[in-house]
Amino acid sequence: MIPESTGPVRVLYDDDDIIVIDKPPGMLTHTNSFERSSPTVITVLGSRFRQSIMNVHRLDRMTTGAMVLARNRSAAAELSRQFREREVAKSYLAIVRGHIDESGVIDTPIPNPVHGEQMHARTDYRRLASGVVDEPIGRYGEGWFSLVALSLHTGRIHQARRHLHRISHPVIGDNRHGDKEWNRWAAARTGERHLYLRACELSFDHPAHETRVSVRLGLPELWIGFMARIGIQVPPELVRESAVCQHGRR
């Protein structure tokens, strides 16, 4: 059985009010009713900082990347407000099946998981690179892939994954909304089951300072190796170290 990749929670920045991390794959943001004993971002950081940590947003279990957490109730309330009022900028990277259009907007409504009513959702995408593998995958004679930058204007559950599936370009490694044949092919070549969806940029107002916090993450080695395997060269703008910076608000 190919293992799911897991790893420690990497803290990129912390102060008296916030913690910024690079979330590893395979870890829940917080405990749910089905897995009460599994390590979560909240429990791991709570143990490390020896205090209660509060989440103000979440990433899916297998999604990696930038997250901000609060160290006190005041910070949690302010950050939650910013997410609720869409003042936080979020950008993702995804590796998807097929050669996607150069750019586009996906605005298919997404049902509320509790009540079922359709909710507005919008995802903008831009193709950064594409690649071809000269071997059959599933029913296709060769494998076509794209590296895509995503900007989420809303924060619905599984939004990026659902929207990309909707336009027939599912995320590689997505076991719920993806292509099983392509997922198996990718896992066999890397030795890991991995969801190629990463929160690469996050920007928000610091809840206690007059600054804007900008988070920009680099690419994990697993991504770089897989991209080389599928003929995608890392774009120059993604050749960078992970960084957190603060600057004056506009």
What is the residue type of 123? T
The pair of structure tokens assigned to 1 is 């059985």
DSSP string, 109-157: -EE-TTT--EE---EEEEEEEEEEESS-BTTBSSEEEEEEEEEESS--T
17 is catalytic: no
In the chain, what are the domain boundaries?
10-248
pLDDT band with cut points at 50, 70 and 90 for residue 5: very low
| Tens digit of each residue's pLDDT (9 = 90 or more) over 119-174 | 999 999 999 999 999 999 988 899 999 999 999 998 888 999 999 999 999 999 99
Phi/psi region, residue 138 (left: phi>0; alpha: psi -120 to 50; beta: rest), is left
Q: What is the pTM of this model?
A: 0.92
| Tens digit of each residue's pLDDT (9 = 90 or more) over 211-241 | 999 999 999 999 999 999 999 999 999 999 9
Catalytic residue among 17, 60, 174, 179: 60
Q: Which CATH class is domain 10-248?
A: alpha beta
